[in-house]
Structures are given as structure tokens and as C-alpha cells.
Amino acid sequence: MIFKDFGKLGWPVSAVSLGTWNIGNQWGDIDDATAWATVRSAYDNGVNLFDTAESYGIPNGLSEQRLGVALAGIRHNVYIVSKIGNWGKRTGDGVPKNSVDMFRLCGHGIVGRLRTDYIDVVLCHEGNLEDPTMYLEGFEALKDEGYIRAYGISTNSLDVLKNFNVNGTCSVVQVDYSLLNRAPEAEFLPYCQQNGIAVMVRGPLAMGLLSGRYSKDTKFEDTVRTRWHQSDEQQAAFEAKVDKVEKLKGVVEPGEAMVTAALRFAASHPAVSTVIPGAKSAQQAATNAQAGDRLLDESELAALTNAVG
């Protein structure tokens, strides 16, 4: 596993880490033992950063709970990133975020579900946030209490990121970036480099499409990807992505080879500290982690980008 600096924080983090949205049953049911084995397999294959969120899971918080159990005995060897902003929204009764105490409440709950004394990073989970004032005050309070070490935001908007970094205190950002979405390369990633903000890439496999295993006729039934079929516009966007993946098959075989290439593509950008693909089995976690053994050279990057256009 290659380790990269985590922005201005300087922490050595695995180039490929583990996103744990998938172990909370929103991507299809899995049992506790499978979830725990998935986390441990990632760790055994060099992963030292695990990403989660208070809202991940059915019920809310299940991903954090399972991750906390899985990390028993090795918590001191890893970094944990979680997120505040969506607790209860999916089930119809979101926590109001109108006071510092509400952020303290959420932060304390995260620590409890993860069975740890502190979180390395907490992120704002509202990607279109207009006014970051209350988040910044709440996160500073959690930092002062010792419950978090650093904080940042998950967003695809450069303007939102700049607003959140108004005081120069944003240490980490999560952004969607992949062979199917290279928009961050223009301005977003350069801004992060200039400001020492660690970049965590979510969606490096485009929610599984960059495995090459799906066709335009695929109908997803999990609670996350079913939205791709909810309107003609969303279906068309899905099919356009599948078309690009079909072109990619001209230079890389579908399956494990394509997954590895896609993860290495995102991890190879100099602004990126780590990519956080999800997994639902020990084998899948191991395959993803092994992609972190090396980065791609310029010719390999060019072959991939030329293929998808």
C-alpha cells in the first residue's frame, strides 16, 4: 500500500481507504459478521483510513456501529472520518442545526456509536451549504472538547468549499471524482493543493459502474441507485455513463482490472490523498485495497482518459 500525506495535517493515509456506506444495508442487506469481515479485510490489506457518516445505514448510524465493533483493538492504528448533517432526514425528522449544542449532540453520538474517544475528522454533510457559520462554531466546540482533531466538508462546489474555508480552518474535503466525472480537475483540485486541503475522493468507481459489469438494461433495486431509474432524465444520464464505460472496455478488461484502473486513476492525481470505495465483502475490500499498491504513469492515465473521451 502507498501512503500519501493528508494535506496540511501531514498524516500518512492509505492511497485507497474504505468507505463504509455499503456496510449499513442501504446498498443491499448484509449481516454483522460480513460487515465486520469487510472492515478487517481492508485493514489487513493496508487500509488505515475509514470513512463513515452519522446517517449511513438502515437504521441511521448502523454503519458507524458496525465499524466501531470491527475496529476494536486496532482503533489506535487507523484514522476515522465521519460526517454531521443528515441525522434523521431520511426517516423524516432531521436534527435541527441551529445551535452549537446540536453539533455537540451529534458529535457525541458519533463517538458513542463508534466506541471511540475521538474522531480524527468530522465533515459537514451538506454539500450545498450557503452559510457555514453554525457548522464552524459547532466543529470548533467539538475540537475544543477533544472529540475531533480536524474538520472539513463534503461538497462538489468550489464556492461552497471556499465559504467553508473562510477562516482557513478547513483541513479536509470529500469530492466526487472519477473517470466518469473529471470536472474537479479544472479548479476544485488545484484550489485544494494551493490551500493544503486533503482531498478524499468519493465515487471513484461511479457507484459501481466502473466495474464494467452493468448494461443499459440493468435495473438497480438498492435504496441508493434506484433513483437512476426514477425519471427519463435520470435514466438517460445513467445510460450515458454506461456508454463511456463501454468505450473504456477497449483498453481495460471489465471486472477486477477495470476496478483497479479506476481506483488508481483517481488516486494518482497529485491533489488527492485517498480514494474511498465502498465494499460489501472481505474479498471486495481486499481487491480495492490492492489497487493502492501503485499509482499510474502519464501514459497509463492518457490511455484511460482518451478512451472515455
Query: For residue range 171-181, what is the model confidence (pLDDT) as tens digits?
Result: 999 999 999 99
| Domain covering 3-207+253-298 assigned CATH 3.40.50.261 in the classification | no
9 φ, ψ (degrees, to nearest 5): -70, -30
With cell 468505450, the residue in question is 247
**Angle, in degrees to the nearest 10, between helices 282-290 and 256-267:** 50
List residues with catalytic annotation.
56
Task: Delimit the domains of the chain by residue range.
Answer: 3-207+253-298
Residue 46 has pLDDT above 90, yes or no: yes
- Strand (E) or helix (H) holding 241: helix 232-248
CA atoms within 13 A on the CB side of 170: 29
Mean pLDDT of all residues in 150-158: 98
Q: Report yes or no: 173 and 152 within 8 Å, Cβ to Cβ.
A: yes
pTM of the model: 0.94
Distance CA 262, CA 254 (A): 11
Q: Report yes or no: 151 and 170 within 8 Å, Cβ to Cβ.
A: yes
Cell of 284: 471486495
Query: For residue range 186-237, what is the model confidence (pLDDT) as tens digits?
Result: 999 999 999 999 999 999 999 889 988 988 888 888 888 988 898 989 988 8
The residue with greater pLDDT, 92 or 67, is 67
Strands 3-5, 119-124: parallel, antiparallel or unpaired by DSSP?
Answer: unpaired
